[in-house]
Amino acid sequence: MSIEDNKAVYRRFVEEVINQGNLEPIEALFAPDYVDHSLPPGAPPGLGAVRMIPSLFRGAFPDVHFTIERLVGEGELVASHVTGRGTHQGVFMGVPPSGKQAVWASLGVFRVVDGKIKEHWGVPDLLGLLQQIGGAPSPGQH
């Protein structure tokens, strides 16, 4: 598969699974032995994590939308910079709904093999997100 094909797999994941909340394409987009190297302790492994994360965000931010800002490919790897946006209307990481709009960045590297995402390494700005919804103090607050 070409680098552009690999990017298309990632774009489909963002558009259909994250933005539309459609979990149906997961098996078509992810390898059965998928590994997420960035999961928090206690998260389900493999495809269970792929199903959990969009549901977690959509439960807390029903209008969540990710915009792909940058997408770079090399070989089997696709690196992404996305901006997430949403209104905090459900519990997120123990923080009750605040009704606040939040915007956060996330960086990720995805390994795509034979048209399926096989591995992921990611760094979302969870601290910045929590600060916006009242779950963590902002700089300068005590």
Q: Give me the number of domains the chain comprises.
A: 1
Tell me, yes or no, whether 141 lies in a domain. Answer: no
Average pLDDT per block of 10 residues along the chain, 142 residues long: 96 97 97 95 92 93 98 98 99 97 98 98 97 92 68
pLDDT of residue 141: 72
Tell me, yes or no, whether 138 lies in a domain. Answer: no
The rounded radius of gyration (Å) of the Cα atoms in the chain is: 15
Instruction: State whether residue 126 is helix, strand or coil.
Output: helix
Place of tokens 């590297």: 109
Tell me, yes or no, whether 25 lies in a domain. Answer: yes
Judge contact between 23 and 56, C-beta under 8 A: no
Instruction: State whether residue 65 is helix, strand or coil.
Output: strand
